A = this chain, B = another copy of it.
C-alpha cells in the first residue's frame, strides 16, 4: 500500500557535548518522552547532510535532502530568498538578498537595518522596482522588516560579483567588483543600481517622514549573496509525490517554491524562538489530506545554536517533543515520518558544523533497531546515510520506489 510521508527538519538540532549540560548534548539532556517512544519503533542512525565533515548551510542541505544536488544547482542564496518572497524567477536570473540601510552623504553606513524599519518598505521597494539599467530589467521586493530581495534579468549576467553591503557600520558602501572574468557587466549594473537606490530613496516621502519623526531613513538598498536562479526539476516530476511545506524562513520557503513544493503559511509560525509549533503540526496534518509529502522545518534549535545557548536549546527541544507528540497522536496510519536535522549547530561553535545529525525513520513496519534520537545513541542504529539518500529511503518506506531491474 502506498503511504504518505512527513519529513520533519529540526533546523540545526545536532550539537556537541556541553559542560553546562553535564557533558551531554542538548538532545541527550532534554526530556523527550515522545521522541524516545518514536525512536523505539524506528530505524535510526546518523546522516551527513551533504558528506562527512562538510559544513552545510540550511539551503544547500535542504536542496540535497530534497533531491537537488547543491554542487550543481547552488551558486548563492539570493534566488531562494527572492523566491521565498514570492518573486517570480526565471532560470538565469541573478538575485540578491538586500537590506534597507542608512548611509550618510559620504556613503558610510550608519545603520545596516535602517533603524529596524518596519513600515513603508513596500512603498520604498516599489519606488525601485521595474527600473531598467542598460538592457537589464530590475525587480525589487520588500521582506520582513529591513529585508528585501533584488532580481536582475537580462543577457550576459553572472552571479560572481562581490557584495555592496560592507557588513559593518562605519564602513563605506563597497564598490561591487567582478570576481570572475565575464562578471564586469553585472558589477557595473549593480553599482549603478545602488547609486540610483540612494538617489531615489533619500528623497522619498517615506524617509522624509521618518526623519521628521527622528527615525533613521532607509535611504539605500544594499545587495549581497548573489546567486543565479537554477532550473530545478519539479519535485512531483522527480519523486512522483505532490509536496507541501510548512516552513517559516524565506530561504527554505524559496527553495521549496522553486522546486514546486507548495508553501503553507501558518499564522504564528515566525521562524523564531516564539514560533507556534502546535500550529505548524496542525498545518502538517491538514496538508496530509491533500498532499503526498509534507516538509516541516522548525528553525528554533538553530537559533539557540547560533546564540550559543545550550539550555535554551534544551527548552526548544522539549517544546518540539510536545509538538511531535501531538502530531503522532493525530497521525493517520498510512504515513511514514522521518525526523532529522539539516545540519548541526553546536552551541560551542555558535555556527553550523560538519558533524552528522541523528535521523529516524518511523513507519508501521519499520525495522526498529537499538538506536535513539540523539547524536550518541543514534550510532547504535542501522542508518549511516547522506542527505541525498533520504528521499530514496522515504520512497522505499512509502512503497513508491520503482524497482531497478528484475
By a beta-carbon cutoff of 8 Å, the part of chain A in contact with chain B is 16-17, 25, 45-46, 50-61, 70, 74, 77, 225, 251, 346, 348-349, 351-356, 365-371, 375-376, 378-385, 389-397, 399, 401-406
Given contacts A16-B367, A367-B17, A396-B353, contact A55 B380 (CB under 8 A): no
Separation of A195 and B393 alpha carbons in the complex (Å): 44
B365 pairs with A376, CB closer than 8 A: no
B349 pairs with A53, CB closer than 8 A: no
Separation of A56 and B371 alpha carbons in the complex (Å): 26
Query: Separation in Å of the A348 CB from the closest CB of chain B?
Result: 5
Given contacts A392-B54, A396-B353, contact A382 B60 (CB under 8 A): no
Given contacts A348-B365, A406-B77, contact A55 B356 (CB under 8 A): no
A56 pairs with B404, CB closer than 8 A: yes
Please, which residue of chain B has its CB at the minimum distance from the CB of A378? B382
- Pick from B55, B381, B383, B395: contact of A401, CB under 8 Å: B55
| A/B interface sample: 25 pairs, CB < 8 A | A16-B367, A17-B365, A17-B366, A51-B392, A52-B393, A53-B391, A53-B394, A53-B395, A54-B392, A54-B401, A56-B403, A57-B406, A58-B405, A60-B405, A77-B405, A77-B406, A346-B365, A349-B399, A352-B403, A353-B396, A354-B395, A355-B367, A355-B396, A370-B379, A378-B382
Separation of A367 and B251 alpha carbons in the complex (Å): 30
For the complex of A and B, the 3 pairs showing the least CB-CB separation, nearest first, are A57-B405, A53-B392, A60-B405
B-side contacts of A399, CB under 8 Å: 349
Please, which residue of chain B has its CB at the minimum distance from the CB of A23? B368
A59 pairs with B225, CB closer than 8 A: no
Separation of A340 and B147 alpha carbons in the complex (Å): 48
Separation of A59 and B380 alpha carbons in the complex (Å): 32
B-side contacts of A60, CB under 8 Å: 404-405
B365 pairs with A405, CB closer than 8 A: no
B-side contacts of A52, CB under 8 Å: 383, 385, 389, 392-393
Query: Separation in Å of the A377 CB from the closest CB of chain B?
Result: 8
Query: Separation in Å of the A360 CB from the closest CB of chain B?
Result: 13
Given contacts A55-B396, A396-B53, contact A369 B365 (CB under 8 A): no
B-side contacts of A385, CB under 8 Å: 52
Query: Separation in Å of the A5 CB from the closest CB of chain B?
Result: 12
Separation of A401 and B54 alpha carbons in the complex (Å): 7
A402 pairs with B58, CB closer than 8 A: no
B404 pairs with A225, CB closer than 8 A: no
B25 pairs with A367, CB closer than 8 A: yes
